[in-house]
């Protein structure tokens, strides 16, 4: 399995969307998608950032084997980890929405002032 495929599987298991990953990496969703499909080569700095977002060590990502993971998950249960990731993604969206709402208010004030 290629590194991009491993990252995709881990991302999906943790409940992150490509858009969420892209935002955290400060790239477009298309650019992030190209990482997962192997169309864009990963440099060490970007791989480190991905490992931080996924809360995994780089070696864990590189050695990821979904067959082993599923066996381990059956033994320990993985529900709480997935819920935490979904909450983190929701919190990220809430923060982004609040920022955009503030920006809209600011821009409306500029337009209102310009009309006078």
pLDDT along the chain (116 residues), means of 10: 91 90 94 94 93 92 74 52 68 81 87 84
Q: Domain tally for the chain?
A: 1
According to the model, what pLDDT value does residue 32 have?
95
Looking up residue 88, the CATH number of its domain turns out to be 1.10.260.40
According to the model, what pLDDT value does residue 102 have?
87
- Classify residue 40 as exposed, middle or buried by CB count within 10 Å of its CB (0-12, 13-18, 19+): middle
Domain that holds residue 96: 3-115
Taking the C-alpha atoms of residue 47 and residue 91, their distance in angstroms, rounded to an integer, is 23
Q: What is the 3-state secondary structure (H, E, C) of 45-77?
A: HHHHHHHHHCCCCHHHHHCCCHHHHHHHHHHHC
According to the model, what pLDDT value does residue 29 have?
94
């Amino acid at each position: 399995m290629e590194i991009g495929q491993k990252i995709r599987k881990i991302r999906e298991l943790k409940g992150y969307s490509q858009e969420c990953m892209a935002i955290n990496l400060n790239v477009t969703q298309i650019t992030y998608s190209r990482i997962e499909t192997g169309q864009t080569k990963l440099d060490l700095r970007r791989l480190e950032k991905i490992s931080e977002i996924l809360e995994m060590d780089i070696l864990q990502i590189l050695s990821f084997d979904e067959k082993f993971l599923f066996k381990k998950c059956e033994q320990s249960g993985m529900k709480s980890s997935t819920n935490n990731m979904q909450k983190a993604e929701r919190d990220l969206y809430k923060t982004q929405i609040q920022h955009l709402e503030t920006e809209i208010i600011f821009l409306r004030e500029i337009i209102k002032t310009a009309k006078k």
